[in-house]
Structure 1
Amino acid sequence: MKISVIGCGYLGAVHAASMAELGHDVIGIDVDETKIAALAEGRAPFFEPGLPEILISGVNSGRLRFSTDIADAAGAVVHFVAVGTPQKKGSYAADLTYVDAAIDALIPHLSAGDLVAGKSTVPVGTAARLAEKLAASGTDAILAWNPEFLREGFAVQDTITPDRLVYGLPPEPEAAVRAESLLSECYATAIAADTPLVTTDYATAELVKVSANAFLATKISFINAMAEIAEVTGADVTQLADAIGYDARIGRRFLGAGAGFGGGCLPKDIRAFTARAEELGRGESVAFLKEVDAINLRRRQRVVDLAVDALDGEVNGKRVAVLGLAFKPFSDDIRDSPALDVAVRLKGLGADVIATDPEAIENSRRLHPQLDYVTDTAEALTGADLVVIVTEWNEYRQMEPAYASALVGAKIVIDGRNCLDAAAWRADGWTYKGLGRP
């Protein structure tokens, strides 16, 4: 199929390259000339495992092209809209400026029967409004909403072999049939593999994405709330999570207590969901999400408090090695990163922060040049009065205590992700402090 992808940020670039990998003829459109130039040369503008390989493959095969000219989308049959929906300044609400701009720019280049498929995460009711805009344009193009469920670090896998597909289809039967047919042609490989498919209306498709993120955020904040109780009772939240995780109704995933969630999705999505519910007069239905957000933000300060306590309140001038800057491993994304936030807070208290990360240093440096960055873990550890682990990269999880002992100035570690073997580190003479662990 001939496909256009409007917006080539994280979501759009991965989607465009993945569609080309599946055999489609894809044109990616974005207004950022620097980004488009990189993509056109087969260079990924951000770190995502597996993306460089399929990007190069698509560009070299001729199936994947990139442009800054929206007119180049003409001739495609399916147009995926994958632009950002950031949080509005001074508000919890989502900023739909880019979504509306993408639709407005696309309309003059649509043909009768074309499908515009929204992938951006939007407040419920957005698709219906955009469908009215399309109908009023006289193009006879149709709209569907096709939410994404990508996990950063696994985005290529999640696009090519998704765990489910959701189509929010128009209410008109004929249009719905065409939209479903075109989307299923795009995802023919996944359909052939019996990937679960949910066909529904616009509103449900929009709610699927935000409710999924709200649930995951709630699960993370729940275990972090239990960590707060564990800390004042002497309980071990990791063992608690193991015990309740054996219940199939609960499950162990996303029950890792620590510094909390971040990134470009969960924080902004739960806030936008709250704002939209209040607009609909149902704010009380998701009022708990404000506490979910508050618990999450508290855990960052808890890591800082543990660091201060470990240094007996004498933070100024102390050398602190911060291991991890990205909001999660296998990513260079620092949006709303708890790890980077912790590093900045410690710096603000006067600590000599030496920060490192396998992928996120340059992004962090652009945002917070006041920190000292090193690319080598050993260099970060050398002479450290305190070690703080805040992103659970494998190289930090698997680090031998004896290796770190030979480098640091003092054997004190704050495990901001509860990812270390506490017994092993203590056996090597370390003062170990985790979150919600005795």
Structure 2
Amino acid sequence: MSWNRLYRLKNYMRSSLWIIPFLALVAEQVLFRMVMASDEWTRWVPPWPLSVEGTVAAMQAIISLALSFIVFTFGSLLVAIQIASGQLTPRIIAITLLRDNVIRFTVGLFIFTLLFAIGVISRVNTSTPPPSIVWISGALGVLSLAAFLYFIDYSARLLRPVSIIHRVAEQGFAMIEEVYPDVLRETSETQRSYGSLGVPDRVVTHAGTSDIILAVDINFLTTRATRVDGVIELAARIGDFVSYGQPLFLLYGGTATIPANDLRGSIAFGRERTIEQDPTFAFRVIVDIATKALSRAINDPTTAVLAIDQLHRLLRSVGSRDLRDGSSRDPQGRVRVMYRMPDWEDFVQLTCREIRIYGADNLQIARRLRAMIDNLEDVLPDSRKPVLRLERELLDRMIDKVYLLPEDAALARIADTQGLGGSADA
């Protein structure tokens, strides 16, 4: 299996709700038969206290509860998806809700309990079942009830905007550490000065359906380019939409002899962007939540402030790291693969511009943005400060434009990490 197909398979399995319940079905069949086969070695199990009629009634109750739990879980999930799409952003469905292990394992437990209880009641109706399987079924029923009560509380907490934003931010932190592992020093960040290599010897175009680049196997491309003594340049970056026939690779030197299918197999495509290998997408999702909260239909600036809190943390992490030069080198230090990476200016503009445009007329947003910019300018190296100063200047110009009263404009210029509740000076 090629790398891109394996990547898509792993990505699909991580975001599919049916995988864990299906495995629970298989596990139930295996465990039930194991318990039945080993019952003669488990004589220590105490006798089941209920009669045949009582056992049937108990199993029927467990079956009814498990079915109700399954229906409620999927129903609540549909409601959660609708609320998330309408109030926050549809992009959180694939990266948070569908990948939530609590939801998947809870449904798996309910299905496991349901099938186990059905197996027990079928044995009760035909013969005397071993006490062990009846005790296990009863324990599963109690465990499912406890899991259901926990799931109600968990769902209520999961749907809170602050929980969703925090989850996306944590994924963004993890990807930032993976993509940019080195800490920035004033002399460490590599300048993007390799320039153009001229006219490529060969161009490989996209031959599949028009989709978004999700991930690239840089190690494979580096190895192949080193082996044939050439350079591979990616014509598109991760997160770009690539249509049929659009250039994918620009090949120089010996890389022109690499088969096109081998190169295409190193890029994974999909219908929707993911955070894997794409740290800017975490910023994009949180900014979308903030801008939707600032819309006239929702008008929830406090949620936008919560989003800026997480964007502030993400920018501090990015600003303190070496963003590298978008190239992969062989052991001798020669560039073998060139690809475009976002720079510091891209991250700052993605964070600030849209939120400022949509929310500068709100005191909370203007003050929280200023507090973020001031703090970043204080803690980040000097090379990061010019872009931050520009964003503060743009914020001041926007304030002058939208606030008619000088008292309101002066209030909007106060840095406040709470939005509106306590200035930085205080």
- Give the TM-score, by structure 2 length: 0.26
The structure that has the greater radius of gyration is 2
**Higher helix residue share:** 2
